[in-house]
Structure 1
C-alpha cells in the first residue's frame, strides 16, 4: 500500500521551538532555565504521583463552570442585541466598559465576595468570556440579510419559524467563532486568577513554582496551559467552525 501525506509547515513549529529553547537553555544553569528533557522528566514525576491530574482537574472544572455560564448568557445577550436596536444601544456601553477592564482586575473583588476557591475564579472566567462572545454573536445575527427574513415571511413563516430556520442556521458559524474566542479569553483569565488566589490548579503550579524557584515546575505548568489550549483549538473549535461554515447565509 502506497502512503503519501501532504507536507504541512506547521509540523516544523514544535521541533523549531524545542531547538530554540534548548539552544537558549544551554547558556544558563539548569536551575534557571532547564532543558526540554528536564521538564519532560518533571512531567513524568508529576504524572506518576498524580499531582498533575489533581491540578489539571481543578482548572478544567473551573473553566467548564465559568465558560458554560458565559456561553448561556452570551447567547442570550448577543441574540437580543442582534435582533433589537434598542437593546443593542443599551448594552453597547456596557460591552465597551467591561471589554476595557482586564478580567484579572476583578479577581480581588470576586475573592472578597465569594472567598478563595471555585466560585471566585468561575466569576472571573465568566466576566472574561461573556462580552467578547456576546459581541461576536450579535455581529453574526446582524449580518443576516433581510432578504431571507422577508422571503420566509412571504412563504408564511411566523416569528418562531424564522428564528428556527433562518436565524439559527445562519448564526451557527458565528456562535462557534464566539465559543472559540470565549474559551481563549476564559482560559487566560483562569490561569491569571489561579495565580492570585487558588490553592490548586495549573495557574497555582506556575505561581508556586516561581515562588520556590522551581523552573521545571513553572515550565511544566506553562506547557500544560499551552497543550490544553492547542487541543481545544484543533480538536474542537476548528472542526466545529469548519462543519458549520456551510450553514452561512450568502
Structure 2
C-alpha cells in the first residue's frame, strides 16, 4: 500500500469550506460591503432570469474565442518557424520576451485609441496576451523533437512537407496542448481586465459596473463566473488534452 493510497483526498471539501468561511466572515459586515453567498446567489438568479446574463456572457466568449483563435494561428506560425530556423529564433525570441514582460492590459488604452471603444480593441488585447507565450512554448516543443527521428525520416526520403506533417507535428502535440492551456489562461485574464477598462458589456463590465454602483453582489457574482469558466476550461479541456499527449509521448 502506497503513501498516496493512505492519504485522504480532501479536494471535495475545498468549495464547501470556502463558502462556510465566506458566510462566517460576511456575517461581521453589512451586506452592502461584503454580501453573503445567498445574496450573491439571488443576484445571479436575477441576471439569469432576466436574460441579461447570456448577453454579457455571450459577448465575453465571442471576444475570447476571436482573440484567442487568432493568437493560436499566429503563434503556430511563429513557434514552428522559431523551432525550425535558428536565425528566425534568434531574431524573434528577444521580441517575444519583451512583449511577455509587458502586462497585456497596458495595451488597452492604445488599442482603444486605434480601434475605438468596442470589441475590436478588447480582441486586440486578448491577442497580445496569448500569442507570445504560446509561440515560445511551441518553439520549445519543436526544438525538443528528437533529431534521430528527423534523420531517420530524411534517410527514408521524406520531403520537408512530409517531415512537418509526420514528424514535427505529431511530436509537438504535447507542447501544443500546453501552449493552448497557457494561452487561454492569459487571454481570459486579459479579457476581463480589458472589459473592466473600456467595454459596455461582458463579464468584466459586470464586475466594474457593480463596483461603481456599490453592488457587491454583482461584483462577486461576476468574479464567480470568471473563476467558474476558467476552471471549466482548465479541467475539462486543457488538462485532459495535456495529460493525454503527455502519456502518449512517454509511451
Whether 2:190 is the aligned partner of 1:199: answer: no
Which residue does the alignment assign to 1:139?
140
TM-score, length of structure 1 as denominator length: 0.95
Measure, in 1, the Cα distance between the counterparts of 2:74 and 2:11: 36
Q: Deviations over 1:79-113 (max 9, x none)?
A: 00000100000101111110111100000000000
The SS at the match of 2:172 is helix
Match of 1:18 in 2: 19
Q: In the alignment, what sits opposite 1:3?
A: none
Match of residue 10 from structure 2: 9
Alpha-carbon distance between aligned partners in 2 of 1:246 and 1:32, rounded to the nearest angstrom: 48
Q: Out of 174-183 and 152-161, give the one that drifted further.
A: 152-161
Listed as ranges, the matches of 1:79-90 within 5 Å are 79-90=80-91
* C-alpha RMSD over aligned residues: 1.4
How far the C-alpha of 1:249 sits from its partner, in A, is: 7.1
2:151 corresponds to: 150
Secondary structure of the structure 2 residue equivalent to 1:133: helix
Counterpart of 2:33 in structure 1 is 32
CA apart distance, 1:11 = 1.3
1:69-84 matches, cutoff 5 A: 69-84=70-85
Equivalent in the alignment of 2:234: 233
**Secondary structure at the residue paired with 1:34?**
coil
Name the counterpart of 1:220: 221
Gaps of 5+ in 2: 1-7
Q: Structure 1 unaligned runs (5+)?
A: 1-6
2:100 counterpart residue number: 99
Q: Is the aligned partner of 1:182 residue 2:180?
A: no
1:65 aligns to what? 66
Q: Distance in 1 between matches of 2:174 and 2:197?
A: 35
Give CA deviations for 1:128-157 in whole Å, capped at 9, x if unaligned.
Answer: 000000000000011111111111112222
Residues of 2 paired with 1:14 and 1:49: CA distance? 27
2:110 matched to which residue of 1? 109
Q: Give the whole-Å Cα distance in 2 for the aligned partners of 1:121 and 1:202.
A: 13
Question: Cα distance, 1:23 vs. partner?
Answer: 1.4
Q: Point out the more displaced range, 87-96 or 238-247.
A: 238-247
Counterparts of 2:234 and 2:20, CA distance in 1: 24
User: 1: distance between equivalents of 2:137 and 2:9?
Assistant: 30
Q: Is the 8 A contact 1:170 1:249 kept in 2?
A: no
| Cα distance change of structure 1 residues 246 and 153 upon mapping to structure 2, 3 Å threshold | farther
Q: How many residues align?
A: 245
